[in-house]
Amino acid sequence: MDNVYQTSLYKKYRGAVIIAIDLIIVFCSYVLVFLAGNNFFLNGGFLHFTKLIIFGMIFVLVLHLISELFFKQHKSLWTYTGPRDIIRSFYSFLFCVVIMSFFSHTMHVFKIQTFVAAECVAFVLQMGIRIAYRYMHSYLENVDRTTKALIIGAGNGGYLMLNEIYRNNKYPYHVIGFLDDFKSKGTIVSGKKVLGTIDEVSEIVEQYNVKQLFISITNATDAQKQRIIELCANTSCNTKIMRFSLENENEVSVDDISIEDLLNRHSIDLKTEEIGSYLENKVVCVTGAGGSIGSELCRQIVKFNPSKLIMVDINENSLYMLKQEFLRNQRNHIMNEKIEMESLIISIREREDIFKLMEKYHPEVVYHAAAHKHVPLMEDRPMEAIRNNVFGTKNVIDASMKYGVKRFIMISTDKAVNPTNVMGATKRMTELILQSRKCNGDIKMAAVRFGNVLGSNGSVIPIFKEQIKQGGPVTVTDYNIQRYFMTIPEAAQLVLQAGYYAQHREIFVLDMGKPVKILDLAEKMIRLAGKVPYKDIEIQEIGLRPGEKMFEELALEIEKCHKTDNNLIFVHERMDISQDDIDQKLKVLDDTIEKTDDIYEIKDILMKVIQ
């Protein structure tokens, strides 16, 4: 049956067929009521078709055609017939009754009781056929609904979720009821009982052998949502959450619990007028534009209508896909069509190419996000980390200063604080380069430090998801290791905000909130996938990787900083660093990586030059 629905013939003529069926029902209803009113002519009478009766019937059918098109009854899907369709159909018939009541006094075709009865019969038949089709369709699909599910929230969201489950083959579940804190136990919602409060979820899951939970609450606060997710995570049921559109709460999607839901990151209060003051109608360049942070920076930047966005990366695939995303948004009028875009495959290590880029496009704002970031890989190839992160960054800074860039913002990391690994040490070196540059004050430069970004390429979250999907084991480097986390949009937005505060080569530090124990995170993700940690999926400790810390030191750094106008952004005062000293250290690094491939010697020199 589903194959029929996919045919072009069905899609093209479906509306016309529904209109024809509805008009036939109306015609038959009038004939039936007319015959019933004349006792089906069993008394020997005869049916005489007069012009008035014929024109009256044509008038009725045309009126119903107009009403059907106006109320869009022909567009509704019979498979999903529900209360809204019934109400819309009722309004359509009511409209016809009102119009016909007005004309009946002048045309005298039908008695009022005749057409009211006929309209009622037609309404019942139309709705009956639709509902019968819905149940027949469900029966023929033969969905196995033996797995029990429970819906958290018995309000509008819960009602929508219940309908979505029974209308959609994606959710082959038998809903046993609802949990709600504001509706009494035993209350019936669309045929399903409220079984208790949300705090009782563990007991009810065990009592009824529930395997699937759906969180469907439209107006929960962040704190309430976090409490509900925590309660669901303790049940080892697979858990999904219904998300509602901000514009229309009837537009919904049903998703897995995301890591953002688990960590309950708060929304950011951005001062858009401040960010817009240095981005609007400006030429903006983003290096590393194809990466997790770089691409999100681009997405946030275009909201402020720059005149041109220059996206630079060495990864052609990610850069191509990002530009295609923006072109699609421009075609769909989601993004300003006047924004010019350039996608350039350039390595920041190629000094000449970077200078040519700055000379040709003269960007006014540069966000430098290009870097090698994976700690274990950089431990194995420290010379590559130095060439890319250190000398590549120097290329971008030097070119920006030479060709009149007004604002230069560099992405740094919490690993630059007292670094114990190559990646952190190279990022600390880039901070020293930035703070040591002699500039005439025309360019405002700053670095922004933050911790781990949720869902970025190679981060722990997608690795855990894949390990859970494969049935385990989930691996953690140490059972006690902790990390700070921030979402990609959150980090990008704060970088834009910090860019406004940039003046004299400061280092900004983002408040990452409370550190998260990685073991706790792994256990929650396993439970929300419907598995039991250490029983269904093992968690194995594999040992710290080379250069890895147990605890990052971002919080200690914040204590040494001053607050900005934004409570989530702190600033280090600029240090007095000699450009000659830093340039001398850069020469030592350059000489070292040119003369030796000994990774231990290179690491030793790197750690010494950042002291």
Active site residue ranges? 415
Q: Which residues of 528-537 are buried (b: 16+ CB within 10 A; e: fewer)?
A: bbbbebeeeb
Q: What are the angstrom distances between the C-alpha of 96 and each of 93, 101, 187? A: 5, 8, 38
Beta strands in 330-443 (DSSP E): 340-345, 365-368, 407-411
What is the DSSP-derived secondary structure letter of residue 266? Answer: P
Would you call 453 helix, strand, or coil by DSSP?
A: strand
Alpha-carbon distance of 338 to 308, in angstroms, equals 9
Alpha-carbon distance of 467 to 465, in angstroms, equals 5
Pairing relationship of beta strands 444-449 and 407-411 according to DSSP bridges: parallel
Would you call 572 helix, strand, or coil by DSSP?
A: strand
Closest CA to 363 of 285, 267, 419: 285
Neighbouring residues of 591: CB distance < 8 A, sequence distance ≥ 6: none
State whether the Cα torsion 439-444-449-455 is positive or negative.
negative
Alpha-carbon distance of 195 to 178, in angstroms, equals 6
Alpha-carbon distance of 127 to 124, in angstroms, equals 5
37: left (phi over 0), alpha (psi -120 to 50) or beta: alpha
Alpha-carbon distance of 488 to 504, in angstroms, equals 26
Cis peptide before 473 (omega within 30 of 0): yes
Supply φ then ψ for residue 181, to 5 degrees: -85, -15
Alpha-carbon distance of 557 to 508, in angstroms, equals 10
Helix-helix angle 292-301:316-331, to 10 degrees: 20
Closest CA to 461 of 535, 510, 529: 529
Q: Which residues does residue 256 pair with via DSSP β-bridges, in sequence order? A: 240
Tokens representing 139 are: 């029966």
- Widest distance between CA atoms in the chain: 118
- DSSP per-residue string spanning 271-339: -HHHHHHHHTT-EEEEETTTSHHHHHHHHHHGGG--SEEEEEES-HHHHHHHHHHHHHHHHTTSS-TT-
Tokens representing 556 are: 């200690």
- 3-state SS string for 217-230: CCCCCHHHHHHHHH
Q: In what order do the strands lie in the sheet with 340-345?
A: 340-345, 308-313, 283-287, 365-368, 407-411, 444-449, 506-510, 569-572, 562-563
Closest CA to 25 of 75, 53, 60, 69: 60
